Structure formats: structure tokens, C-alpha cells
């Protein structure tokens, strides 16, 4: 597959119209149609369902769009970093991770790099562990930040000193605000939402085991912001990491769980891969930051 043709394919997928895509790409419509037809022949699949005024992706087309976006991103980044290496420290740095207080340390390091090296470009990607590992394996991330206890032997890794403490976000008017910590029994009678990733990993099975069947779990969330709005409306309580929401003037409170439930924070990167100059700088400065606070 030619990278240029993949760009053509992505343009059509974006515009849903070959004429519009041809205008955007500054090529003729017949030439673009021929390129896509040749691509379908080469792959042996049908990528588009043609309609009278627009076209839409087939299931194979959706799959190729995801892969093509990764391929183009990797090609563009590689070219940029190779050209930037002729200068001082510059290039692109892609980091993916979920919501965590540990990201503050990483942002501190990135802020210093941006100030010292204005030609560096930073790309931050939010996602759960599965999403981060997939992007790291595909080469579209330089580093991933993983929360929790996971087998990570296939990656280089660095454990951060920060830890994620689980607790409950609750309305300021809730009687539970008078508690210094929340036990499983305290949650009885309250509607509860939990992290989708934590639910899939059965993260709390040991913590709430004695009362699990009596709990009223009404749903899950992916990112805490919207769940916190629901809590603010007194619709439920939310199990969350500490420090993910600003409690000032928020009408919300946070209490840690009792017994304590916490998770480590680990930064990972691919083994047997040469890091770009900016990725090497980031890793060096992160290690220095950790050592300085030891």
C-alpha cells in the first residue's frame, strides 16, 4: 500500500464524497476514483458503498481507516523527528494515559521541556490501559501511563512514586461527609457509579465482598468529569481516584476508602526501540525528577 493512496482514502472517508475529496486533494475526480479502485483491487476488498450523492465505508473500510490513521501518523512523526534531529532538541512526543494524580509529575517534566526547547511538540492522548497499550504497540505513542497492577514484562517500565488512592465522590450535603473514610457498609442504600475499567478488572471484589450483593450499582463511567456532575446533582455517589476533581466551590466532597485501596502508576515504553531525542530527554528528566524527590 502506498502512503499517498492511504491519504487519498482517508480524505474520501472524511468527506463522504469523491468530488469533495478530489477538490480538497487538488487532483481530478477520475484520477482519485481510479486510485481507490486500484487500492480495492490490490486488497481484494470493497472499501466503500457508493450512493448517488455520497459514499460510506464498508466494515473493511472502517478497519482500514483505523489502521491508515495509525500508519499516516507514524510516517509523519518519523519524518518530522528525523528532520528535527538536525537541529537541537526538537521533535514530537506522544504520551497516553488515564486520569491520575501521577500525570501531574509528567506534566511538570513536559512543561520544563517546552520552556527549554520551544521546537518540541507535545501530543497528549487520554485512554484506558487497553487503549494505551494498543497505541504503544502500534507505534503511535512514545510512552504510556498505566494505572494498577498489570503484567508489563513486554515493555520497558518505570514505576512512579505517586499512587492512586480510591475513594468516594459524594455531594457536600451527604451525611457521609462526616466520615473520615468510607467502608463498604457505608455505601448501602446509595446508588453508585464506578469506573468502567475498574469494573472490568473486578478491582473492588475483595474490598466490598461482604456486602457486594446488597450494593446498588447503577452504572459506570469512562472519564470522571461527567460522573462528578451526576454526583453534584445528588443522583449517585462515584468511586474514583483521589485528586481528579477540584473540590473548591464544587459542592462535592471526597473520602478515601477504608480499608485503603490504592494502585501504582507505571510509565511504559516499547522494548528494543530507539527513542527519539525528545523521548530520551523526557525519560532522563523524569528519572531526575523522581530522584530529586526520593
pLDDT of residue 252: 95
- Answer yes or no: are the C-beta atoms of 256 and 167 closer than 8 Å: yes
d(CA 174, CA 252): 9
What residues contact 51, with CB distance under 8 A and at least 6 apart?
none
Mean pLDDT of 253-264: 95
Of 95, 102, 96, 94, the closest CA to residue 244 belongs to: 102
Classify the phi-psi angles of 186: left when phi > 0, otherwise alpha if psi is within -120 to 50, otherwise beta: alpha
Mean pLDDT of 173-201: 94
DSSP string, 69-123: HHHHHHHHHHHHHHHHTTSSS-EEEEEEE-S-THHHHHHHHHHHHHHH-TTEEEE
| CA–CA distances in Å: residue 80 to residues 119, 181, 276 | 11, 50, 11
Return the percentage of the chain with pLDDT > 70, whole number: 97
d(CA 176, CA 179): 5
Classify the phi-psi angles of 148: left when phi > 0, otherwise alpha if psi is within -120 to 50, otherwise beta: left
Mean pLDDT of 261-268: 95
Quickly count: other Cβ atoms within 10 Å of residue 171's Cβ.
19
Mean pLDDT of 208-226: 93
Average pLDDT of the chain, as a whole number: 89
pLDDT of residue 150: 85
Where would I find the H helices in the chain?
A: 3-15, 18-25, 29-43, 59-84, 102-116, 129-138, 196-200, 224-232, 277-292
Instruction: For the chain, give percent helix, strand, coil, nearest 5.
Output: 45, 25, 30
Residue-wise pLDDT tens digits, 65-109: 888 888 888 887 777 766 655 456 778 999 999 888 889 999 999
- Answer yes or no: are the C-beta atoms of 120 and 95 closer than 8 Å: no
| CA–CA distances in Å: residue 258 to residues 102, 190, 204, 255 | 22, 17, 12, 9
pLDDT of residue 75: 81
Residue-wise pLDDT tens digits, 134-156: 999 988 899 999 998 888 999 99
pLDDT of residue 49: 87
- Answer yes or no: are the C-beta atoms of 77 and 85 closer than 8 Å: no
Q: How confident is the model at residue 294 (pLDDT cuts 50, 70, 90)?
A: low
All cell numbers assigned to 250? 464544587
pTM as predicted: 0.70
Could you tell me the maximum CA-CA distance found in the chain, to the nearest angstrom?
A: 71
Amino acid at each position: 500500500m502506498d502512503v499517498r493512496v492511504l491519504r487519498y482514502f482517508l480524505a474520501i472517508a472524511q468527506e463522504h464524497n469523491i468530488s469533495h475529496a478530489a477538490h480538497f486533494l487538488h487532483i481530478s475526480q477520475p484520477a482519485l476514483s481510479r486510485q481507490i479502485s486500484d487500492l480495492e483491487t490490490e486488497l481484494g476488498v470493497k472499501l466503500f458503498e457508493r450512493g448517488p450523492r455520497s459514499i460510506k465505508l464498508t466494515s473493511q473500510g472502517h478497519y482500514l481507516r483505523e489502521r491508515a490513521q495509525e500508519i499516516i501518523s507514524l510516517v509523519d512523526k518519523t519524518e518530522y523527528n528525523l528532520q528535527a534531529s538536525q537541529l537541537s532538541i526538537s521533535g514530537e512526543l506522544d504520551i497516553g494515559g488515564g486520569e491520575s494524580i501521577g500525570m501531574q509529575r509528567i506534566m511538570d517534566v513536559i512543561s520544563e521541556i517546552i520552556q527549554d526547547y520551544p521546537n518540541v511538540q507535545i501530543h497528549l492522548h487520554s485512554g484506558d490501559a487497553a487503549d494505551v497499550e494498543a497505541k504503544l504497540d502500534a507505534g503511535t505513542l512514545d510512552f504510556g501511563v498505566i494505572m494498577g497492577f498489570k503484567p508489563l514484562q513486554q515493555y520497558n517500565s518505570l514505576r512512579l512514586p505517586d499512587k492512586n488512592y480510591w475513594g468516594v465522590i459524594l455531594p457536600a450535603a451527604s451525611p457521609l461527609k462526616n466520615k473520615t473514610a468510607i467502608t463498604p457498609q457505608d455505601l448501602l442504600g446509595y446508588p453508585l457509579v464506578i469506573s468502567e475499567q475498574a469494573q472490568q478488572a473486578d478491582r473492588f471484589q475483595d474490598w466490598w465482598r461482604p456486602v457486594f450483593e446488597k450494593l446498588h450499582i447503577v452504572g459506570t463511567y469512562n472519564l470522571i468529569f461527567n460522573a462528578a456532575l451526576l454526583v453534584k446533582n445528588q443522583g449517585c455517589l462515584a468511586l474514583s481516584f483521589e485528586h481528579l476533581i477540584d473540590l473548591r466551590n464544587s459542592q462535592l466532597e471526597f473520602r478515601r476508602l477504608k480499608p485503603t485501596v490504592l494502585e501504582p502508576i507505571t510509565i511504559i515504553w516499547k522494548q528494543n526501540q530507539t527513542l527519539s531525542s525528545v523521548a530520551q530527554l523526557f525519560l532522563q528528566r523524569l528519572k531526575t525528577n523522581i530522584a530529586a524527590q526520593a
